[in-house]
Structure 1
Amino acid sequence: MSQPELVHDIGRRRAWVIWLVALAVYFLAVFHRSSLGVAGLLAADRFDINATSLSFFTVLQLVVYAGMQVPVGVLLDRFGSRAMLLAGLVLMTGSQLVFAFAEHFAVAVLARAVLGAGDALVFVSVIRLVTLWFLVRQAPMVTQLTGLTGQLGAIVAAAPLTWMLHQLGWTRTFAAVSSVGVVLLVLVLALVKDTPYRSDGATEVKLRALVESMKTVWGNPGTRLGMWSHFVSQFSATVFALLWGFPFLVQGQGWSPAAASNLLMVMTGFVIVSGLVLGAVTARFPFWRSWTVVAVVAAIATVWTVVLLRDEPSPTWLLVVLVCVTGIGGPTSMLGFDLARSFTPVQAIGRANGLVNVGGFVASLCVMALIGIVLDLSEPGGMDAYDLDDFRAALAVQYVFWAFGVVQVLRFRRRAIAHLERVHPGAVEQMRAGRPFVHPGIGTEGL
């Protein structure tokens, strides 16, 4: 199959402009997604709910997010990133506005579900733009920068949002932040283009062929290696930042809300630094990506073990280490998309990335829900009654997911290597030598 005509330079100024606009949309999506992390205690007050109901907010949001990833991948390959970013902005802006004025739990839950749907359209759309607009040698670092810069939204959802909620109140704060989506709608319409090639960059997926195409993508062990890498590395950081980190620090460790918000900002700042290092390492040593995942998960589990074994509040230095090491899981999960890119032609990259993205969010929502259930079982008195022992028992559910995820990563690493040796002779040796393997369907512009 001949390569379509290239009409814009790959990896040059236009590519960076398109990426920055798309990145701003992802930034906003992460902000909306993380906003309940620091507003959780206020939400419990506003809607008169317990820990299980509070976790249901975020769990439902992530259920919708994860459940939409496969259909979003298909739609992305069909319609392209620009249309998906626009649809995501419309859904997120409208839902956050409804959330601002919601006074009943059911209305607020519906708003967060719609927010999850809008959020689901964004990230994989940005990753597809990276795949199409950047050179293969640039892609690992740009992918990391995407995840890391997007996570600045979590910083804005920490201390500054806490300040806004205190100064402006619930309704005015969430109404104000929802308006940012209108500005980004205009920028996406004006500046984002799906592909540097003359073709529209979208692959029509007929319904009759859809099941077979998904079987092919799912049957590739590289897709599942990416998914399990995302599964095992992402959930601990997501659970901590999105919901249970703030209550753990305030109720379990005795920190003030302001100090807890600042520590979440430290976590996100360290995520950015560690992600840059991971991006460079990934580009230099592509063969060792899955072992990097295993090493990071082992480090996260070790630090959590030290903290959870203590029957008294941990010293400040130990909690700083905890949030920094836990935060590394975020950029590590991005290796899942880089792994999928090595195994998937560009015509199917949306579907592969959608499947990869399911992993971490399924793990996150399961862990969030289980933590809320364990907390309510150990202390029926509600949010104000939880103490350190309650959190120690609840947060221990993470170990089951770490162990299962690592086993799956090692299992599919073996299968993925065997697949490359069989289907693409020389690919494994190429990656061992520190050179990226380019799937034949992507092209060779980056070599």
Structure 2
Amino acid sequence: MTPANGSFQWRIAVVLLPFAAGFYLSYLFRTINAVIADQLARELGLGSAQLGLLTSAYFLTMAAAQLPVGVLLDRHGPRSVQSACLVVAAAGAAVFAMSSGLFGLMLGRALIGLGVGTALMSGVKAIALWFPRERQATMNGWLLMLGALGAVTATAPAQALADSIGWRNLLGLLSAVTVVLAVMMALIVPEPQALGRRQPHGPATLQRIMLDPRFLRLAPLSALCIGTAWSMQSLWAAAWLARVDGLPRAAVVQHLLVMALALAVGGLLLGWSADRLRRAGHPVEVLFGGIALLSIACQLALVVGIDLPSYLIWSVVGAVGSATVLSYAILAGYFPKEISGQANGALNLLHVGAAFGLQAATGFIIDLWPPEATGPPVVAYRVAFGATAGLELAALVWFIVSAPLTRPTTYLAGRSVQNRPILAPSQTTAYARAQLVFARRVAAARGQARNWRVAALGSAAVCAVVAVKVVTGVMTNPAVPHVIEVDAPARRKSQLLFTVP
């Protein structure tokens, strides 16, 4: 029995769960450096820039693998590709565990990124092959939620193991688990027949994908928002909480745990919401833009110093890391599933490339300030995080203003008319021509309504931030009245002045 002719539960057992296990290891490897960073710094004498460069090596090789892996997934299938890549990840974890210098650590980290960096793309490709389109966003949400449990494991449980057996033995244990999973995936997961024999591949296909106006509109915002969330969760969130907020190690680990839980729950909720919006005939782009705006507002609140619950802010930042569910759901409406591996790979290349660049750049910006006795100065973190938020805000503006340049998906009687061929007037009836004109006008109206909704949300967010700042300023700086006698030639008068201490 194969997933193609098996029950829905059978598909979940032999397709979703094995790839979710691989993505679980991907998230565990990605975020574990936030837990063992202190031990690495003490044992090997690594600074902020070196830690940022070391952690970002994962994203560098992961980014380099996305385009070739997308082609391989379309041609050879997700089982063969992912099981082979997991062996590479196991070798990288072993190298990392045995290294005693920065070069060996970076080599091991790079091999880990090359191996498990394909987990998300393999899972999304498998879901596109074996699940109906109307269930794919929800299945992607389940994939992301189950995989994000790896980020949950890379908090308190990983901290306890690292403290008891050491970070080297912990990485060795993960290497053995990765080998076992690779063998199980090669034996359990089925492969579709005649995969990729007549599917388009090569630079020409990738060029058409990456130059598509709809891809160019989505890619900058998706890459920067998701890359920022990954960068913070894997390293810089812990550094901010410890240095800027002054939290003890136990509280930092608790915050990372809450971020991981928000990531897991967010993937499931966003996938379910995307499917609901699509069935109702609404574009998923609106939800994605709103999530990006919320993330930028939370980051600006951190930079400005607005007194909001830290668990709330970091939960939002962590949950945005699961917005890949929305990005892939949007791409599924742009490109056929025969080239879905290449389309998703091109977008994921930008995700991990942005995460690598932002993670390394944050470390270099922080090191521009001379360190204090207790570590880098607080202003260095604020400048670095503010620069990242500014880039995301610029990408959001582009996402909004470029909407009229792309043709939004228009649903007519349950069918998409976006890519219907436009016939010559002599080939169409008056009714067909009127139908196309009506569809275009509905698309334009929905695009304008979407833009106004995003503008309204942005205005409301700005007003809320300003109101919170004013209220907190008034509460922390109360006005004190003073009565001052003023002499005048004809009469004496009093003035009541208010000063703010």
Q: With the length of structure 1 as denominator, give the TM-score of the two structures.
A: 0.86
User: How much has 1:168 moved relative to structure 2?
Assistant: 0.7
Please say if 1:157 is aligned against 2:154: yes
1:184-210, Cα deviation, whole Å (9 max, x unpaired):
122202211233xxx33234678xx62
User: How much has 1:72 moved relative to structure 2?
Assistant: 1.1
Hey, what does 1:268 align to over in structure 2? 260
Please say if 1:326 is aligned against 2:321: no
Q: 1:302 to 1:184 in 2, by over 3 A?
A: same
Q: Which amino acid aligns with 1:295?
A: G
395, 401, 405: which one aligns with 2:395? 405
342, 351, 357: which one aligns with 1:360? 351
Identity %: 22
Hey, what does 2:234 align to over in structure 1? 242
User: How much has 1:391 moved relative to structure 2?
Assistant: 1.5
Hey, what does 2:376 align to over in structure 1? 386
Q: Structure 2: how far apart are the matches of 1:328 and 1:169?
A: 30
Q: Which amino acid aligns with 1:275?
A: G
Hey, what does 2:427 align to over in structure 1? none
Hey, what does 1:292 align to over in structure 2? 287
User: How much has 1:299 moved relative to structure 2?
Assistant: 1.4
Q: 1:290 to 1:396 in 2, by over 3 A?
A: same
Q: Structure 2: how far apart are the matches of 1:422 and 1:166?
A: 56
Q: Structure 1: how far apart are the matches of 2:325 and 2:59?
A: 18
1:335-386, Cα deviation, whole Å (9 max, x unpaired):
111111112122211100001112222222222122111111113469x422
Q: 1:191 to 1:229 in 2, by over 3 A?
A: farther
Q: Structure 1: how far apart are the matches of 2:271 and 2:100?
A: 44
Q: Which amino acid aligns with 1:397?
A: A
284, 293, 301: which one aligns with 2:296? 301
Q: Which runs of 5+ in 2 are unaligned?
A: 411-416, 422-435, 447-501
User: How much has 1:221 moved relative to structure 2?
Assistant: 3.1
Q: 1:130 to 1:7 in 2, by over 3 A?
A: closer
1:187-236, Cα deviation, whole Å (9 max, x unpaired):
202211233xxx33234678xx6222222222333434443342133123
User: How much has 1:139 moved relative to structure 2?
Assistant: 0.7
User: How much has 1:392 moved relative to structure 2?
Assistant: 1.4
Q: How many residues get paired?
A: 418
8 Å CA contact 1:95–1:114 kept in 2: the answer is yes
Hey, what does 1:440 align to over in structure 2? none
1:300-327, Cα deviation, whole Å (9 max, x unpaired):
22222222222xxx86x62111111112
* Equivalent residue runs for 1:89-100 within 5 Å: 89-100=86-97
Q: Structure 2: how far apart are the matches of 1:150 and 1:68?
A: 20
8 Å CA contact 1:227–1:357 kept in 2: the answer is no
Q: Structure 2: how far apart are the matches of 1:262 and 1:108?
A: 27
Q: Look up the SS of the partner of 2:195 in the other structure.
A: coil
8 Å CA contact 1:77–1:203 kept in 2: the answer is no
Q: Structure 2: how far apart are the matches of 1:305 and 1:184?
A: 41
Q: Which runs of 5+ in 1 are unaligned?
A: 434-447
Please say if 1:201 is aligned against 2:198: no
Q: Structure 1: how far apart are the matches of 2:399 and 2:10?
A: 37
Q: Structure 2: how far apart are the matches of 1:18 and 1:259?
A: 37
Max radius of gyration: which structure? 2
8 Å CA contact 1:290–1:413 kept in 2: the answer is no
Q: Which amino acid aligns with 1:155?
A: V
Q: Structure 2: how far apart are the matches of 1:193 and 1:416?
A: 39
8 Å CA contact 1:30–1:150 kept in 2: the answer is yes
User: How much has 1:6 moved relative to structure 2?
Assistant: 9.2
Q: With the length of structure 2 as denominator, give the TM-score of the two structures.
A: 0.77
138, 141, 146: which one aligns with 2:138? 141
Q: Which has the higher contact order (CA 8 A, sep 6+)?
A: 1
Please say if 1:33 is aligned against 2:25: no
The CA RMSD measured in Å over matched residues stands at 2.6
Q: Structure 1: how far apart are the matches of 2:406 and 2:143?
A: 26
Q: Which amino acid aligns with 1:362?
A: G
Once the two structures are overlaid, the 10-residue window that deviates more, 220-229 or 56-65, is 220-229
Q: Look up the SS of the partner of 1:212 in the other structure.
A: helix
User: How much has 1:37 moved relative to structure 2?
Assistant: 1.6
Q: Look up the SS of the partner of 2:321 in the other structure.
A: helix
